[in-house]
Structure 1
Amino acid sequence: MSLQQAFHELVTLELVLAWVAVSLVSVGVLWFDLRRNNRKLPSMMKLVWTLTVLYSGVLGLAVYWYSGRSQIPDDTFLRRGMRSTAHCYSGCGVGEVLGVTLAAGILLLNTVGVVAVTFTFAYLFGVAFTVGPLMQEGVGIREALADAVYSESGSIVAMETVAIGSDIYLAGEATMGEPVFWASLAVSLSLGFLAAYPINLGLLHLGVKEGMGDPSAM
């Protein structure tokens, strides 16, 4: 039995609903902590953490607890890498969900079409989530776009190569009406995060990315 077949046999509607419930509870815990203990975090990072936890549930909440709270004992290179990955992940995830749903679920495109549409959406949203904050800080559109493309492309390509590839493999011929379609999307998003984390560490080490600010200093 292949991994794909085993995954299809494992996934049920009840399992998907349980995953949704756990993710929503995790988001509730996040919002409670943001409201009670971390109101000083920038609104953009609150959105980043909300999307990260929504995509990955308890895993996303653990990443926030380890690297995103102002109560962390000290900032480290590994924590900076996690925050940087989460920032990229939040934007790419929006694009990936929209792209896969449109390309595979609605338009029923072939594999090449699904990959092209999904990657395009993920890349554009990933870049946009960097361009927006830069422009809010007064950076011009051209400079902000150039900086976003330069700093985020490596992370986005790594993340989406794994995420889209695993989603297509796990979902197989599943349609939007089947639980395995959504289960594959959820699993692939988290796999994309894990794949992009070491890439972000490398980009930070090389100075390509600056990483998100130390929350404990806010």
Structure 2
Amino acid sequence: MQLDALLRDIEHALAPVRHVMRPLLSDPLVMGIWAVLVVVSVGVLLWDIRERNQALPSLMKGVWTLVVLYSGPFGLGVYAYAGRTQISDDTLWRRGLRSTAHCYSGCGAGEVVGFVTLAGLLALESSLVITAGTFTLAYLFGYALTVGPLMQEGVGFGEAMLDALYSETPSITVMEITAIGTDLLLAGGAHIGDLLFWGALVFSLSIGFLAAFPVNAVLVHLGVKEGMKNPAEMARDAGATA
């Protein structure tokens, strides 16, 4: 009962945001412009990776592609600031952004699959079921993106899973509470054929990224997470072995 009351209070407090954003996210012109910006951003990213950043590992190339697919020009800006081999100084903020991007790529995939399957294709109307299912998939995808590479390096499954639980849980939790909450606030009851369904999903992903960034920056600062390797060092290493 107390939780229900809290959720109603939050929904009431954020009603002005919903009033402003719902028309924008269901406007065909606005979403059409956004789709064009995403396509252009992905094209720029892929060109830059092919022409100037081949030294990036395959995992990070995939991570940045998903980030830009989810967040368009915003994701491209994060890549330009923190993910290219041409960065001059690898600051805490850049490491925090790379760590967030890594988490975001996996969790975002889980969230998209969750909402599209549960709220879209299955047309479930229970917010609790949709939330629980989407949370579960986001955690699974997010952990997998950490566990898989660790196991490829020879780390056992148990140790890799413990590392993922320890390092990724705070970030995933904050990201998904924010993203899923935003999506339900803006598009609760929307169907997969509604433009609002997709607009709110895209918008909520970027909001989740912003919420998780300070968490990742703190975790990197405390040494809980490494923040992904400095891409400039990757380029130097590649040049040394060429």
Q: TM-score, normalised by structure 2?
A: 0.87
**CA distance in structure 2 between the aligned counterparts of 1:5 and 1:23, rounded to whole angstroms:** 25
Identity %: 57
- Aligned mate of 2:38, from 14, 23, 48: 23
Structure 1 residue 17 displacement after superposition: 2.4
- Aligned mate of 1:91, from 106, 122, 128: 106
Match of residue 147 from structure 1 = 163
Runs of 4+ in 1 over 4 A off after TM superposition: none
Q: Which runs of 5+ in 2 are unaligned?
A: 1-14, 235-242
**CA distance in structure 2 between the aligned counterparts of 1:58 and 1:52, rounded to whole angstroms:** 10
- Aligned mate of 2:118, from 103, 116, 119: 103
Matched ranges for 1:1-218 at <5 A: 2-10=16-24, 11-109=26-124, 110-218=126-234
Aligned residues: 218
Q: After the TM superposition, which of the residue ranges 34-43 and 19-28 deviates more from structure 2?
A: 19-28
Structure 1 residue 113 displacement after superposition: 0.7
Q: TM-score, normalised by structure 1?
A: 0.97
Secondary structure at the counterpart of residue 209 of structure 1: coil
Secondary structure at the counterpart of residue 224 of structure 2: coil
**CA distance in structure 2 between the aligned counterparts of 1:6 and 1:76, rounded to whole angstroms:** 36
Supply the AA of the counterpart residue of 2:101.
A
Q: Which runs of 5+ in 1 are unaligned?
A: none
Secondary structure at the counterpart of residue 84 of structure 2: coil
From the CA coordinates, give the structure whose radius of gyration is larger. 2
**CA distance in structure 2 between the aligned counterparts of 1:186 and 1:41, rounded to whole angstroms:** 26
Q: After the TM superposition, which of the residue ranges 12-21 and 133-142 deviates more from structure 2?
A: 12-21
**CA distance in structure 2 between the aligned counterparts of 1:187 and 1:211, rounded to whole angstroms:** 25
